[in-house]
Amino acid sequence: MKAAAVVMGVTPGAVSQQIKALEAQVGVALFEREQRGLHLSEAGARVHATLARAFDQIETALAALDAIHAHQTLTVSAVPSFAASWLAPRLGHFTQRHPTIEVRLEATSSPVDLRRDRVDVAIRHGLGDYPGLRATHLMTPVFIPVASPDLLAKGPPISAPIDCLQYPLLQDSDRADWLLWLRAHDVADDPRAERGTSFDDDFLLIRAAGAGQGIALIRDIYAREEIAARRLAVALDCPWPARFAYYVVTRPGALQQPATAAFVAWLAEEAKAAG
């Protein structure tokens, strides 16, 4: 009752009154009330699945009407670093190809409910396990150690992974990436691997590395532009593939909508072209 009240924007008491009115109308008890709460009655359980499917169909139909009314507006949710460094600079390509589809980009790391928040496409970084949703692999970036060219020119030479420990290390929020990268390259655990300023976003790591504050482990898709502009340089050519990847997440059946299907197909093309 409380969960339903939150979704509907009313009080739990109001939901309870609506249930009682429905039970009076159909002449059947839909819930069995106990001291610890309530659960579906036998009659309620028998019709629940059918009603749930019906409501899903209604929601799908309303979403289709919303898309028509909004002139094919797509709401896309992506983590901030991916949105700023990879997606936003490329959106112009999609607009040129599909001028009638307007994209609304939301940059957030918070979990989103695709149904409740009316999100058409979510791009998330994880293991691809999103129950009840369709997840399509987009890309698997690798981590590379980068730093300001000036910092590397003035500091000691780096010819092996262990040499990175001679520099200040810029950390991810969990302080785990450097430790895992060094282990992957057969470097024994060292307390220096978990020291240094930490950042909760790759974009901030890039800015700190470019300012000469230390060496950062950055996903290659975020570092390419900075390296090409010579604001960053690769400290050592030892890329490390992480387990996590980027996935395109949609509701089941969402690809039946032409605008959503076009955007997902375009994402796949851009990811393939980016290598």
Model confidence at 44, pLDDT cuts 50, 70, 90, reads: confident
pLDDT tens for residues 177-194? Answer: 899 899 988 999 999 999
Burial of residue 23 (CB within 10 Å: 0-12, 13-18, 19+) is: middle
What is the distance between the alpha carbons of residues 262 and 259, in angstroms, rounded to a whole number?
5
pLDDT above 80 for 87: yes
Confidence (pTM): 0.62
Model confidence at 6, pLDDT cuts 50, 70, 90, reads: confident
Q: Which of 109, 182, 193 is nearest to 143 (CA)?
A: 182
On whether the CB atoms of residues 140 and 219 are closer than 8 A, the answer is no
> Do strands 73-78 and 102-107 pair parallel, antiparallel, or not at all (unpaired)?
parallel
Residue found by looking up tokens 């979403």 in the block: 63
